[in-house]
A = this chain, B = another copy of it.
Amino acid sequence: MTYCVAVRVDQGLVMLSDTRTNAGMDNIARFRKSFTYLVEGERAITLMCSGNLSITQGVKATLSKAIKDARLDPDVETILNCSTMHRVAQIVGDAMRAMQTRYRESIEMGGSGASASIMIAGQRRGGKPRLYLVYSAGNFIEATEDTPFFQIGEHKYGKPILDRIIKRETTLEDATKAVLVSMDSTLRSNLSVGMPLDLTVIPTDRFDFRVRTRIEADNEEFAMISQSWSAALRKGFEDLPNVLD
């Protein structure tokens, strides 16, 4: 399983993913699910992947191949040189559709699922910060003011805190705390989501990453967030009014 969450607020974009992959409960591995792309001062993009790993790795390989080819032939369109973030989503969607067309039938014949989804968060100079969610069919949706965050994978445990906190006016600082708390709740309730975590933060109009880091299991800041949140919940719970006479 997987848990990835991406938030778009006025101040920018925050993305967090876990790293656990499993093919059944007895075959657990660690794979990075967040991937960053940077053209300094021009565009910063994070992709986060969930679902069939061979499909999402194939999509990534397609994107990377194009970037490599563009070094020799600048006419090759890539997510690093295309004109808009919307076009980035289309390119990722096209790569997704190509992978699905190629493998879906044979994967499903083997009894596995080929579904996958990819979140794209980023901003290019001249555009606004954008957040997209690409589905298996290659189609995609964009986060709007009404829906300022997307989740993929094991999303339910960590949704209540996001529903309560995240609005477009939420600060980048608070959005970062909120995704960490959301992940903390998910880690506690579902064994198939696991540390370490990958966190990226892209402030509005910086066209660069403010944070692009891996949070290991022994990370003190995350432990502090986790413990403070536990303590706050316990305190808040103790302070609730009595309901039995």
Q: Chain B residues near A241 (CB, 8 Å)?
A: 221, 224-225, 228
Given A225-B243, A232-B232; A163-B189 close (CB under 8 Å): yes
Contact of A109 with B by CB under 8 A: no
Q: In the complex, what distance in Å separates the CA atom of A242 from the CA atom of B232?
A: 15
Judged by a CB distance under 8 angstroms, whether A230 is at the interface is: yes
Q: By the criterion CB–CB under 8 Å, are B243 and A239 in contact?
A: no
Q: Which of A159, A178, A236 gathers most chain B CB within 10 Å?
A: A236
B178 touches A237 (CB 8 A): yes
- A134-174 vs B, CB cutoff 8 Å, 1 = contact: the mask equals 00000000000000000000001101110111000000111
For the complex, is A85 an interface residue (Cβ under 8 Å from B)?
no
Q: Which residues of B contact A221 (CB under 8 A)?
A: 241, 243
Task: Contacts A164-B230, A233-B161, A233-B164 given; indicate if A244 touches B156 (C-beta within 8 A).
Answer: no
Interface residues of A (CB under 8 A from B): 156-157, 159-161, 163-165, 172-174, 176-178, 180-181, 185, 188-189, 201, 210-211, 221, 224-225, 228-237, 239-244
* Complex Cα gap A37–B242 (Å): 26
Knowing A156-B156, A156-B189, A163-B189, the reply to whether A176 touches B244 (Cβ < 8 A) is yes
One of B180, B229, B244 near A172 (C-beta < 8 A): B244
Q: Which residues of B contact A232 (CB under 8 A)?
A: 232-233, 235-237, 239-240
Q: Distance (Å) between the CB of A13 and the closest chain B CB? A: 13
B236–A159 contact, CB under 8 A? Answer: no
Known: A181-B240, A232-B232. A160 touches B189 (CB 8 A): yes
Question: A236 and B237: CB pair below 8 A?
Answer: no
Name the residue in A163, A232, A243 with the highest tally of chain B Cβ atoms < 10 Å from its Cβ: A243
What is the distance, in angstroms, from A202's C-beta to the closest C-beta of chain B? 12
Q: Which of B163, B188, B210, B236 contacts A244 (CB 8 A)?
A: B210
Question: Can you list 9 contacts pairing A with B, beta carbon distance less than 8 Å?
Answer: A160-B185, A164-B230, A164-B234, A174-B237, A178-B237, A228-B241, A229-B237, A229-B240, A231-B236
Chain B residues in 8 Å Cβ range of A157: 156-157, 159-160
